[in-house]
């Protein structure tokens, strides 16, 4: 039986095991997918476990997407560009670090009736998933990307990778077409922003990377007026679909049934 893991810290909230195990059953794959709360000191051994076949693949989530990089043999173009790995596979004896978050984000946007071409985007947060979002937005030819993070130095670090980023102070907002919450504000039920997002004009696209809980305060604002709102569930599903394809050569279907299954 093949074995897969998602590693991160914290990891309890991860829905990856639920999703991958559902697809194993659906596509008759003899495999099991678990989760492991991990520390930095475990990364080398976990990667060796993939090399020697005790594990068949790993998904990596915060805070290890960057720190796992030295332990793989080959980085995909997407991983190199974003300095971020979320999927590890073994191919011809070599450990490959992939980044499927980029496709995950891009596909989630393409499923919505909102064309980001030449649009101005504000990203709140500078954590693990943000390089992938920036890179995907650049590929979709947005006009401007502004980034605002409580700890400004982290936004400045990102500017070293993406030099045309524009940095805003935390709480400072500029005019935008789309705003993305990539912070962890909203993971806890009463979490809210320390600044007012409700004064933004109409017809804006609010995208929350958080998908559990399904409705956050950011959702409540984004759902008002004539705004468009999307949460991170589709990004999560599409990054998983791409990882599944890397490991099993099958592109699992994303339909209402799987969306409802993961949500509940
Ligand atoms: P990591 O930073 O380890 O990659 P993450 O969950 O991907 O983890 O990122 C957390 C993001 O949420 C960061 O941008 C963080 O801001 P800091 O860089 O200042 O820590 C942001 N964040 C978390 N709680 C926050 C809060 N209460 N107010 C503002 N930003 C917050």
Q: What is the pLDDT of residues 82-132, one digit of tens each?
A: 999 999 999 999 999 999 999 999 999 998 878 999 999 999 999 999 999
Percentage of the chain exceeding pLDDT 90: 82
Which residue has the CA at smallest separation from atom 9 of ligand 1?
Answer: 127
What would the pLDDT profile of 172-213 be if each residue is shown by its tens digit? 989 999 999 999 999 888 888 888 887 777 789 999 999 888
Atom of ligand 1 nearest to the CA of 184: 12
Atom 11 of ligand 1, nearest CA residue: 183
Cβ neighbours around 197 below 10 Å, total: 18
Q: How far apart are CA 191 and CA 247, in angstroms?
A: 36
Q: How far apart are CA 66 and CA 60, in angstroms?
A: 9
> Which CA distances in Å does 216 have to 54, 114, 186, 198, 221?
39, 21, 5, 14, 9
Give the pTM. Answer: 0.95
Does 234 qualify as catalytic in the annotation?
Answer: no
CATH superfamily ID and name for 103-231: NAD(P)-binding Rossmann-like Domain (3.40.50.720)
Given the residues 65, 204, 234, 242, select the one marked as catalytic. Answer: 65
- Give the model's pLDDT for residue 109: 95
31: left (phi over 0), alpha (psi -120 to 50) or beta: beta
Ligand 1 center to 89 CA (angstroms):
29
Domains in the chain: boundaries: 2-99+236-263, 103-231
Residues at CB less than 6 angstroms from ligand 1: 62-63, 125-129, 149-151, 154, 183-185
Q: What gap in Å lies between CA 106 and CA 181, rounded to an integer? A: 16
Pair of tokens at residue 61: 């989530």
Evaluate whether 254 touches 238 at the Cβ level (below 8 Å).
yes
Distance (angstroms) between ligand 1 centre and the Cα of 125 equals 6
CA 98 vs CA 80, 88, 111, 148: distances in Å: 9, 6, 23, 27
- Going from the Cα of 126 to the center of ligand 1, the distance in angstroms, rounded, reads 7
Question: 2-99+236-263 and 103-231 share one CATH topology?
Answer: yes
Q: Which CATH architecture has domain 2-99+236-263?
A: 3-Layer(aba) Sandwich (3.40)
């Amino acid at each position: 039986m093949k074995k897969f893991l998602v590693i991160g810290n914290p990891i309890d909230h991860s829905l990856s095991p639920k999703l991958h195990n559902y697809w194993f059953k659906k596509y008759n794959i003899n495999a099991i997918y678990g989760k492991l709360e991990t520390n930095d000191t475990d990364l080398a051994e976990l990667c060796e476990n993939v090399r020697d076949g005790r594990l068949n693949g790993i998904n990596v989530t915060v805070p290890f997407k960057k720190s796992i990089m030295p332990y793989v043999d080959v980085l995909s173009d997407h991983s190199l560009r974003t300095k971020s790995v979320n999927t590890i596979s073994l191919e011809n004896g070599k450990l490959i670090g992939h980044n499927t978050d980029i496709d995950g984000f891009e596909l989630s946007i393409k499923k919505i009736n909102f064309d980001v071409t030449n649009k101005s985007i504000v990203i709140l947060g500078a954590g693990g998933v943000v390089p992938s979002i920036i890179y995907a937005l650049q590929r979709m030819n947005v006009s401007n990307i502004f980034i605002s993070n409580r700890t400004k130095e982290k936004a400045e670090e990102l500017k070293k990778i993406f030099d045309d980023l524009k940095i805003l102070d935390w709480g400072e907002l500029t005019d935008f077409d789309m705003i993305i919450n990539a912070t962890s504000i909203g993971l806890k039920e009463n979490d809210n922003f320390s600044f007012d997002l409700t004064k933004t004009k109409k017809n804006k696209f609010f995208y929350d990377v958080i998908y559990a809980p399904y409705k956050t305060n950011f959702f409540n604002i984004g759902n008002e007026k004539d705004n468009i709102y999307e949460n991170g569930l589709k990004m999560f599903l599409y990054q998983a679909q791409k990882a599944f394809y890397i490991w099993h050569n099958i592109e699992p279907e994303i339909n209402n049934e799987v969306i409802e299954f993961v949500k509940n």
